[in-house]
Structure 1
Amino acid sequence: MHLFTLAVSAAVLAIPAWGWGKEGHRMTAAIAQIHLLPSTREAICSILPEDSDCNLANVATWPDDVRKTEVWKWSANLHFVNGIDDSPPKECSFGTKGWEKPSDRHVLNAIVNMTRRVESSYGDERDFSLRFLTHFLGDIHQPLHLTGRYFGGNLVPVLFGEKKTGLHTVWDDDLVMQRIESVESSAYAHPLQTSGTALGRNHQIEAALNGSNYDPLVRWIVLEGIDGRWATEIKQWTTCPQITTTNQVDQQILGLDAPPFNDPTNLPVCPYHWAKASHRLLCDFIWRADLEGVEDSKKAVYKIRLDTPEYAGQVGERKMIEEQIAKGGLRLALALNTILGSEEDKRAFGLLFGVKL
């Protein structure tokens, strides 16, 4: 198989770390799907297999589904990145001291590589690259994929509801499901009206959904989040502060440290810039000072609850899950529209269909 030039034997996963759970990844992809240009949607239809229904949400979890198979095990390390000496909340060192080995095989490089392949490759390679890109842009918005401390929080025992679980799983699944359940009885529980006057936005949303349990939350994220509380922040979210070659030379002359990872100057993605902001959440909120890990999961003591007003309640109040998923989806849409959309569509609709930047 000649899909990629990466060495199959180089990556071995030490412990499961799955990024968002299935719902988180599919919601991220659904947000992207809603904001694709018409020409981008056509391009995606030509790239993905017929059984995908031309919908990114239907392939968003594929990289997790195959990562333990013999053919795809080389991709396991590409779902996360670990900074040397990173130890939230006491030490927030996102790459400032380098990256844990293999230092070049991580999600930041993977996003750059997959973006290039979606832009320029063909056939199966382009198909699989699009699936990986969709998934990896979800991964960097789940903050526990951005630290190696206790294997990304997998070995931090906590209680959530009736479950004995780990910090990583709480953010993968439990908090996401809690947010989904919070809107199950709301006005967003049913499909939006798509006929009548001024309902183009509703049609965009419903065309991307497929009757899943997370559909109500996606509706909320778009109509009350992207179109409402975060509307003035979207341009900042989707703008990359890319470093030019001239900037890098100036930094060297001034004796300034180079960034831990150089985001590309010729692609519409800046994974380090985006992931750095996600990583900051670990020290600011997610990894409380009383959350300690264990070296042996068999010796775990479960005594700290996270389904409390002070923790889960604040996640809901601040819409932390919703915001991270919105960011991931919009950034994916912008990247795909930039490299796959027609110039005519870009002039007519901008780089995010339905959103003014």
Structure 2
Amino acid sequence: MRISLLSATAIAVALANAPAAYAWGAAGHEIVATIAQIHLPKPVLTLVCDILRPSLNLSEPAPVSTVDAYPPCSLAPIAAWADTIRMRPEYRYTAPLHYVNAVDDAPPDGCAFPGTHGWQGRPTGNVLAALGNVTNVLREFADGQRSVGDAEEALKFLVHWMGDMHQPLHMSGREKGGNGAKVAWNGRSTNLHSVWDGLLIAQSIRQTPRNYSRPLTGTEGAIVEPHLRGAIYDSYIRRIMHEGLAIGGRFDEESRSWLDCPTPESEKKSLGTPSFTYKERAQALLAMDFYTALGLTTRPGTEEGWDDAVLCPFAWAKPIHKLNCELPVWPHNLDPTGSHPSGAELDTDDFGAEADAAAGRPRPHPELFELDTPEYAGKIAKEWVVERLLAMAGVRLAGVLTDIFQDVEADGFVLV
């Protein structure tokens, strides 16, 4: 997505007004893919790009040499592929693989994961199981047991589904992940799922300080800038990387455990969590030592039959699902008094009419609860909730790909 005829403002407004159909929307998935790409060691990214050609950058000329060109490709163009093909007859089986729904889930007062009645649909027909399936395909490819065609499809699904898992409403079983929950956004009728798919992200892009429209400099710029493509969200990625993932940033300490999976203490093997300066960490990243650079630990462990030593979607998804109750992603005010599945008596404040009137906001849809407010959207922005989820998805995607491909020699590796 390159900025050419449309201005950045026009694109952001269009993104905000367009209904988002799937998790994170295209922009969110591309942001996750770009953050992951920034963290990938060079040999791993080169191999990933080799697998994804020729389908990757169809609108752009391929580099003359994957050795001389860095990065050799961009992962962003394929990040939303899994949404674009889900209605094709041959891919309809993938439709339920973008989410997981617990039968007993009833946010914001009861977040069951999965609860006594388990999951909706087949136990293997959800995003948690799907992540394990495509990861196994890539492992088999790395061992020489799968074709490059199998690996290409699995990579495109993995990039997308890792993003899906970090959208809280894709972890919720109520109202089809919020698609059936009508709300208002800036006076317009929409639904809760669409707010989280794209409207919150579009607002954050518009509100990114102007100084991030300029390239980052120094070592930080050397790490980040090569992977940016002139997209409307470039400034947003710069801010997430600089204020969020850099040493001393909002996510610096916690990001060191984002790849951890539950495991008995006796089985834990740690790479340590050294206190790097930003320059040291950046040099380690540029030297392709991903795990040491981020101070991450190994991840043995298993839960729910989906988790293993590298990928633990159940363990990772559980706290994301809790946001539906704890933030809450699902506002209490959406439920008229006594109507919530839990039977709780809730004060709806006439769906926020009094607050809107006091703030001078128009109410073209007075029956709908407005979410573009300081109490909801403002709280999410202040606490960097969306930025944390996007960063977390990117780091985890990079970690999984690095674990699979770091020992594969790209030079001379035969793609069949």
Instruction: Using structure 1 for the length normalisation, give the TM-score.
Output: 0.81
In 1, the alpha carbon distance for the partners of 2:87 and 2:305 equals 30
Aligned to 2:212: 188
How many Å separate the matches in 2 of 1:301 and 1:85? 30
Which amino acid is 2:236 matched to? L
- 1:50-92 CA distances to partner (integer Å, 9 max, x unpaired)? 3524322111000001001112111101000001211111211
The aligned counterpart of 1:158 is 183
Contact 1:242 1:270 in 2 (8 A): no
% of aligned pairs identical? 36
SS in 1 for 2:256: helix
CA distance in 1, matches of 2:384, 2:236: 11
Partner amino acid, structure 2, of 1:291? L
CA drift of 1:210 comes to: 0.6
CA contact (8 A) 1:95 1:260 kept: no
Q: Which runs of 5+ in 1 are unaligned?
A: 1-15, 194-198, 247-258, 295-299, 346-357
CA distance in 1, matches of 2:164, 2:406: 24
Aligned to 1:45: 49
Correspondence 1:315-354 to 2 at 5 A: 315-342=380-407
Are residues 1:110 and 2:130 paired? yes
Aligned to 1:99: 119
Q: Counterpart of 2:311?
A: 269
Which one-letter code corresponds to 1:129 in the other structure?
A
Distance 1:78 1:106 in 2: 4
Does 1:286 pair with 2:329?
A: yes
Alignment partner of 1:200 out of 202, 216, 219: 219
Residues matched between the structures, number: 306
> Is the CA contact (8 Å cut-off) linking 2:129 and 2:306 kept in structure 1?
no
Q: Is the contact made by 1:63 and 1:135 (CA closer than 8 Å) also made in structure 2?
A: yes
Q: Flag the 1:211–1:229 CA change in 2: closer, same or farther, 3 A.
A: same
Question: Does structure 1 residue 210 correspond to structure 2 residue 252?
Answer: no
Query: Of the candidates 62, 86, 93, which is equivalent to residue 105 of structure 2?
Result: 86
Match of residue 72 from structure 1: 91
Structure 2 contact 98–161 (Cα < 8 Å) conserved: yes
Report SS of the residue matched to 1:164: strand
Q: State the AA in 2 paired with 1:337.
A: T
- The equivalent of 2:63 in structure 1 is none
Q: Compute the displacement of 1:302 (Å).
A: 4.0
Q: Indicate which of 349, 357, 374 corresponds to 1:309.
A: 374
Counterpart selection for 2:201 from 154, 160, 176: 176
Residue 179 (structure 1) shift: 0.7
4+ aligned runs moved over 3 Å, structure 1: 342-345
Between 1:56-65 and 1:116-125, the stretch displaced more is 116-125
5+ residue gaps, structure 2: 1-19, 58-72, 141-145, 268-301, 340-364, 411-416
Equivalent residue letter for 2:400: A
Match of 1:323, SS state, is helix
Q: Check whether the contact 1:242–1:263 (CA below 8 A) recurs between aligned residues.
A: no
Deviations along 1:93-142, one digit per CA (max 9) or x if unpaired, are 11132111222200000001111112213221110100000100000110
**Distance verdict in 2 for CA 1:274–1:81, change over 3 Å:** same
Q: Could you tell me how far apart the structure 1 residues matched to 2:401 and 2:202 are?
A: 28
Counterpart contact for 2:33–2:394, Cα < 8 Å: yes
Alpha-carbon contact 1:263-1:273 (below 8 Å) kept = no
Q: Provide the aligned C-alpha RMSD in A.
A: 2.4
How far 1:178 moved relative to its partner? 0.5
Given the alignment of the two structures, is residue 145 of structure 1 paired with residue 152 of structure 2, yes or no?
Answer: no
Deviation (angstroms), 1:17: 5.9
User: In structure 2, what is the equivalent of residue 7 of structure 1?
Assistant: none
Q: Which has the higher contact order (CA 8 A, sep 6+)?
A: 1
- Distance in 1 (CA, whole Å) between partners of 2:223 and 2:409 is 19
- The answer to whether 1:35 aligns with 2:44 is no
Instruction: Determine the C-alpha separation between the residues in 2 that align with 1:322 and 1:263.
Output: 26
Query: Do the aligned residues in 2 keep the contact of 1:156 with 1:292 (CA within 8 Å)?
Result: no
The 3 A distance-change label for structure 1 pair 74 and 301 is: farther
Query: Does structure 1 conserve the Cα–Cα contact (< 8 Å) formed by 2:124 and 2:130?
Result: no
Q: Which residue of 2 aligns with 1:8?
A: none
For residue 243 of structure 1, report the CA deviation from its aligned partner.
6.9
